[in-house]
Structure 1
């Protein structure tokens, strides 16, 4: 009986449109980790699974929560996971330190970084120049803090004109809300909602997004090792195609995306997270570049400039060449990567 059921399931899978020939035999397992605890923007992966897009590509994907982009990069490089979702800017220092086991972006999900300076109206900070003489808070080594000096220089601000208070990530927004620092750095998609949860009115929150003030960096992406991508090109190609389908499903039905995440985490707050998803879509995913060129489109000159900025921020004298950090070899044609109307 079990053998009969397995045969029926395989026949059903083989009938799915776009199913690769090799996938008609058996789904391939893929160990996948995101960058943090499940949030609204992770619905793109949950719907890719629930709506059968991974299965259509012959993939059996196991998705785990992450503990920060840096941790995700380490776990993918070690082989603990096959594929990860992490801030692509982290590849610059990582690959510089690990040239024999480089990571590579196979699909750029966020076209803009979400890194930002975040403050409150009561601080009097409305533009980067207003940060002079202020105290900023962030964890030591956190990416947005490391990138603050080039952000400051891009806006004619001496990075040394601000002072820093180091703190754990989980108290960053509460320190700002309590007035213990004048501003913080972090991803606006995290800080904004943490401040609201701390009782701050949405109208009182002020953000200075890095991309709006001269630091035009890419954001989070699908990453894997160059070795894995070469050895499992069909898996990577299928994962990318399924993710794009998941993105368009999420845009079409955000509530379904939230339901998919609640099923994975009963403590997930769908009301707040649908707002977080919309913020990420508006600020980082549905950009003019994406609308014109499709999801995953990378401009080589822009990427080269971004790598130079990140290398300078981390003090990397010989950064990896920009073209070694990403590839478009696993992307479907542009027509298949366009945002759904």
Structure 2
């Protein structure tokens, strides 16, 4: 098994790294000086999906000065899920964002290839179908004949055929309708749909908004090797600015670890930047997410990616007919930029 790991570097060490220009004509020229004491590098970062507790760590890295210490002036914008975020990164309208790795593989298989993963956010997928107890969706079979809502590019929606095949249900009997990331839970509350695509850590927020008991069908029940969110950037940035990528990754992961260690403070920081935030729900989301970021007993450090696991995920998707043959982990993961020991 090939395992690519790295001990998380503190921002003080990251800021000490300096780029030596012109060392060799064979090396890519580093075109920024993030963290070297010069002008701050302007970066646009997208959250994974709206502004919920699960994405508070980006705001924490900004508020606590982790980005600035690493040499970045960061603007945070709301993400729209895997498909939309990849499009924004590839178009050059943003520089970094978390996406679901499996959703990224599906997009890669469809021909969108100008992005690359540089670190893991969650070691296990959090993708799920969410509903409320009054809809009586207790098993995958209960989804047949139901209407679900999600963004068109969501990993939950795009991965559904594979989930349905493994769960032995007819995915053609499930109707999907489009919904905006920020409004999905509100749509569920209206009762106009039976369920929505959502991450399992969304349970506290769904309960707060719908005032009903949430129910979940986690994809991890059938897809055990899948990673959750990973941090991506464009292939261009990864090739031309490797030191910038490493420093940004370290600063963001520092925010992630701080948010998980201090969920109440992280929720307060999120509310400061997103006033509609229900702090109790945001705090609970972070507490639930901790076990996905630090998978118990795995021995993995925060941010690491095991390419052997990714290869198994690719094989599952190929077996379900959702990925073409010939795709390897290294085509979507920048192994040299991943956190290492």
Q: TM-score, length-normalised on structure 1?
A: 0.79
Distance 2:246 2:179 in 1: 38
Partner of 2:222: 213
Cα distance change, pair 248–51 in 1 and its aligned pair in 2 (3 A): same
Measured after TM superposition, the shift of residue 329 of structure 1 is 2.0
Q: Return the match for 1:270 from 279, 284, 290.
A: 279
Contact 1:104 1:223 (8 Å CA) reproduced: yes
Q: What corresponds to 1:24 in structure 2? A: 37
Higher mean C-alpha deviation, range 56-65 or range 237-246: 56-65
Distance 1:313 1:180, change over 3 A: farther
Is 1:242 matched up with 2:254?
A: no
The alignment of Structure 1 onto Structure 2 pairs a total of residues equal to: 312
Counterparts of 1:74-153 in structure 2, within 5 Å, are: 74-98=87-111, 102-131=114-143, 133-139=144-150, 141=152, 142-153=154-165
3-state SS in 1 of match to 2:128: strand
What aligned pairs does 1:13-52 form with structure 2 within 5 A after superposition?
Answer: 16-19=12-15, 20-21=17-18, 23-52=36-65
How far residue 316 of structure 1 moved from its aligned partner, in angstroms, is 4.2
Where 1:329 maps in the other structure, the secondary structure is helix
- Pair 93,333 (structure 1): closer, same or farther in 2 beyond 3 Å: closer
Aligned match for 1:63, one of 68, 76, 99: 76
CA change 1:329–1:196 in 2 (3 A) is same
More helix as a share of residues: 1
Q: Deviations over 1:137-165 (max 9, x none)?
A: 224744313322221222333435x4325
Determine whether 1:293 maps to 2:300: yes
| Larger relative contact order (Cα-Cα within 8 Å, sequence gap ≥ 6) | 2
Q: Which runs of 5+ in 2 are unaligned?
A: 1-10, 20-35
Measured on the aligned residues, the alpha-carbon RMSD in Å equals 3.0
Give the Cα separation in 2 of the matches to 1:174 and 1:259. Answer: 22
CA contact (8 A) 1:17 1:56 kept: no
Q: Distance in 2 between matches of 1:50 and 1:326?
A: 29
The SS at the match of 1:281 is helix
Corresponding residue of 2:312:
305
TM-score in terms of structure 2 length: 0.79
Q: Quick one: distance in 1 between partners of 2:104 and 2:159? A: 14
Q: Report which stretch shifted further, 41-50 or 182-191.
A: 182-191
**Cα gap change, 1:35/1:62 in structure 2, threshold over 3 Å: closer, same or farther?**
same
Task: Give per-residue Cα distances to partners, 1:283-311, cap 9 Å, x unaligned.
Answer: x222126x511112222232123234445
Kept in 1, the 8 Å contact 2:66–2:255? The answer is: yes
Tell whether the 8 Å contact from 1:92 to 1:319 is kept in structure 2 after alignment: no
Per the alignment, in what secondary structure is the counterpart of residue 298 of structure 1? Answer: coil
2:179 is matched with 168
Judge conservation of contact 1:240–1:330 (CA < 8 Å) in 2.
no
Secondary structure of the equivalent of 2:252?
helix
